[in-house]
Amino acid sequence: MKTKHLFQLTLTVLLAASLVTLSWAKSPKMKMTTPIPEAFTAPDKVKTSIGTLKYFDGVPTEGSTKAIYDYLDTSRAVNVYLNSIPALSVNALREGQAAMGADTCNKICIWDSLMDSTTVLLTGNTSTMYAVGFLDLLKDGPTVIDLPPGMLGILDDMAFQYMVDLGVAGPDKGKGGKFLVLPPGYKGDIPKGYFVVPSKTSGVWVFMRGYLDKSMPLDKAIPAASKNIRNTLKVYPLSTKDNPPAMEFINVSGKKMHMILPNDYTAFEKLHALIQGEPEDYLGPEAKGMMAAIGIEKGKPFNPDARMKKILTDAMAIANGAARAISYFPRDPGNLTFKDSEAWVTAYADKDTTFTRNGAYRLDPRVLFHFGYICVSPAMAMTVAGKGSDYSMCMLDSNGDVFDGSKTYKLHIPPNPPAKDFWAITMYDTQTRSQLQTDQQFPTLGSQDEGIKTNPDGSMDIYFSPKAPKGMEGNWLQTIPGKSWFIALRIYGPEQPWIDQTWRPGEIELVE
85's CB contacts (< 8 A; 6+ apart) are: 261, 323, 366, 367, 370, 371
Q: Residue 361: inside a domain, yes or no?
A: no
Residue 206's CATH number: 2.60.40.1610
Q: Residue 436: inside a domain, yes or no?
A: yes
Query: 449 and 498: one domain?
Result: yes
Query: 209 and 289: one domain?
Result: no
Which residue, 324, 341, 375, sits at the end of a domain?
A: 324
Please state, in angstroms and as integers, the Cα–Cα distance from residue 431 to each residue in 116, 122, 470, 478, 486, following that order.
Answer: 17, 11, 30, 17, 10
Query: 201 and 278: one domain?
Result: no
Q: Residue 453: inside a domain, yes or no?
A: yes
* Contact (CB, 8 A) for 429 and 485: yes
Query: 270 and 194: one domain?
Result: no
The reported pLDDT for the residue numbered 26 is 64
Which of 431, 428, 160 has the alpha carbon at shortest distance from 320? 431
Q: Residue 21: inside a domain, yes or no?
A: no
As a whole number of angstroms, the distance between CA 18 and CA 40 comes to: 27
Q: What is the DSSP string of 417-471?
A: --EEEEEEEEEE-TTTSSB--SSSSS-EEETT-TT----TTS-EEEEEESSPPTT
Query: 150 and 80: one domain?
Result: no
The reported pLDDT for the residue numbered 214 is 80
Buried b or exposed e, range 287-318, using 16+ CB within 10 angstroms = bbebbeebbbebeeebebeeebeebbebbbee
Which of 345, 384, 395 has the alpha carbon at shortest distance from 492? 384
* Contact (CB, 8 A) for 107 and 432: no
The reported pLDDT for the residue numbered 22 is 35
As a whole number of angstroms, the distance between CA 182 and CA 178 comes to: 13
The reported pLDDT for the residue numbered 289 is 97
Query: 192 and 126: one domain?
Result: yes
**296-302-305-311 Cα dihedral, nearest 10 degrees:** 40
Domains in the chain, number: 3
Residue 312's CATH number: 1.10.3360.10
Which residue, 234, 254, 274, sits at the end of a domain?
A: 254
Query: 297 and 434: one domain?
Result: no
* Contact (CB, 8 A) for 239 and 151: no
As a whole number of angstroms, the distance between CA 374 and CA 495 comes to: 24
Q: Residue 137: inside a domain, yes or no?
A: yes
Query: 197 and 249: one domain?
Result: yes
H or E stretch at 363: helix 363-372
Q: Residue 343: inside a domain, yes or no?
A: no
The reported pLDDT for the residue numbered 384 is 86
Which residue, 193, 219, 254, sits at the end of a domain?
A: 254
As a whole number of angstroms, the distance between CA 115 and CA 126 comes to: 5
Buried b or exposed e, range 199-211, using 16+ CB within 10 angstroms = bbbbbbbbbbbbb
Query: 450 and 491: one domain?
Result: yes
Query: 111 and 157: one domain?
Result: yes
Q: Residue 241: inside a domain, yes or no?
A: yes
3-class secondary-structure state, position 125: coil
Number of neighbouring beta carbons within 10 Å of residue 381: 19
Q: Residue 506: inside a domain, yes or no?
A: yes
* Contact (CB, 8 A) for 152 and 125: no
269: containing domain: 73-86+263-324
The reported pLDDT for the residue numbered 16 is 38
Q: What is the DSSP letter of 388?
A: S
Residue 414's CATH number: 2.60.120.600
Please compute, for residue 325, the number of CA atoms within 13 A of its CA located in the half-sphere on the CB side: 9
Please state, in angstroms and as integers, the Cα–Cα distance from residue 449 to each residue in 159, 366, 436, following that order.
Answer: 38, 34, 19
The reported pLDDT for the residue numbered 455 is 96
Query: 176 and 81: one domain?
Result: no
Low-confidence ranges of the chain (pLDDT < 50): 1-25
Query: 131 and 209: one domain?
Result: yes
* Contact (CB, 8 A) for 368 and 117: no
Please state, in angstroms and as integers, the Cα–Cα distance from residue 244 to each residue in 170, 248, 293, 496, following that order.
Answer: 24, 12, 44, 46
Which of 71, 275, 269 has the alpha carbon at shortest distance from 158? 275
The reported pLDDT for the residue numbered 215 is 84
